[in-house]
Chains A and B, each alone.
Chain A
Amino acid sequence: MTQLLDGIRQVREALEKKDSLALKELSSGLAGDSFLLQDPSLLELSLVSYALNKFLTKPYIFKTKEWALFSKKTVKLLDASEKALDSGQESKAREAVHSILSEIQKLSDSLGRFVSSVLDKARLKAGAEIYAKGASLGQASFLSGADKRELSFYIGSTRLSDQFESMPLKQRIDQTMELFG
């Protein structure tokens, strides 16, 4: 719970300061923590943080009336979640975090310029982070909610695979050739 409370406070502060870099870093950290602690609300907070970062880098979003309303609502929900956690109302706190995702989806649908929403991209980022932390592709896909195929391609476009050699290639190929005759 401490991790979630800290996360909520940090996201709120970064949002109020319009600090998109802090939101981006928070997003990665929260995804990694969600895997370690198996906490779906930490994952959702990671998605929120990523989405806020993205919105703040797009003037066609953050200069609109819709953003102003959304931003106010998001701060309110983060406050509500923090208060609920402080008073031991864990499920209320988690519901409040979850509600922010719906608000993000609405904003993305109304103002976004791309077919895949900001939340889809957030899930891919979270999935890649969880994969980097040691999870399998299937587990990273399951925990982040990212589609397995899309996550596979996303990971393939990074250098994550560079760290995971476990047998010399020649040995693996020689054994393969021997098997197939």
Chain B
Amino acid sequence: MVSLTCDSSSLIALAETCNLGVLGFLSKEAGASFLIPPFVKDEIISRPLKAREHAFSALRLRKQLDDGFLRISSSPSIMRDTHEVLNAANTLFRVRGKHLKLLHDGEAQALALFKSAKVDALLVDEKTLRLLIESPKTLAVKIEGEYDETVEIDEKSANKLKKYTRGVFVMRSSELLAVAFKKGFFDSFGSGSQDVFQAAVFALRKAGCSLTNNELSAYNTVLD
């Protein structure tokens, strides 16, 4: 049994590339459970339902909830934890004496839920949350390049953030699709299933999954 918390970027990428079926597939094949905190539910379902151009995507995601493949999860401390994550992440870096507000509510709450729900992985496609967890210094260097200024790191905020990021394994929608492919998600395509998988990964990248060009190429061979 494996459980993951999901932020909206990964679910949006899966929805927009017609790969939401992977949630139900892995629920059945691997006993996986996919959890979302309340803010993420707002972002992917409640708010876009009000906009005609995004309602279809939101309805497909709501069906995942209705079918039990996505579950809303919370905890008594979720709001407090969310604010702690937000405060720590958004005071971590300073440029020209100004704090950079890096994260928004949904991302912070997805990370906060990881700890309280004691899950195995965080499913996130966008790059900032992943870098804050895996390599904040890489993010700092990139920002220095963008602003051509030194980024000061606040050690107090860094330690507060580490409370939430320590031990978090980050997965993207592409890795989720990779494990589903290995378990037969694309078998209905017969001998072409490998091509379908690679095309699907490319589609995820186009939909915003933060994959480098090297990683895209590596996906052609890494599962052989």
Segment of A55-63, A68-76, A79-87, A151-159 engaged in the interface with chain B: A151-159
Are the C-beta atoms of B131 and A164 separated by less than 8 Å? yes
Are the C-beta atoms of B130 and A166 separated by less than 8 Å? yes
Shortest Cβ distance from A69 into chain B, in angstroms? 31
Bound complex: CA A135 to CA B131 (Å)? 11
Query: Does B48 interact with chain A (Cβ within 8 Å)?
Result: yes
Are the C-beta atoms of A152 and B54 separated by less than 8 Å? no
The residue in B104, B120, B212 that gathers the most chain A C-beta atoms within 10 A of its C-beta is B104
Shortest Cβ distance from B37 into chain A, in angstroms? 13
Instruction: Give the number of A-B contacts (CB < 8 Å).
Output: 158
On chain B, the residues within 8 Å of A149 by CB distance are 12, 16, 48, 54, 57
Cβ-neighbour of B134 out of A37, A134, A153, A166 (below 8 A): A166
Are the C-beta atoms of B208 and A179 separated by less than 8 Å? no
On chain B, the residues within 8 Å of A88 by CB distance are none
Segment of A16-24, A94-102, A138-146 engaged in the interface with chain B: A138-146
**Within residues 189 to 224 of chain B, which ones have a CB less than 8 A from any CB in chain A?**
205-215, 218-219, 222-223
Are the C-beta atoms of B222 and A141 separated by less than 8 Å? no
Bound complex: CA A142 to CA B131 (Å)? 20
**Within residues 140 to 181 of chain A, which ones have a CB less than 8 A from any CB in chain B?**
141-142, 147-149, 151-153, 155-157, 159, 161-167, 169-170, 172-173, 175-177, 179-181
Known: A148-B43, A162-B213. 9 other contacts (CB 8 A): A136-B104, A139-B107, A152-B9, A152-B12, A162-B212, A170-B222, A176-B175, A177-B179, A180-B179
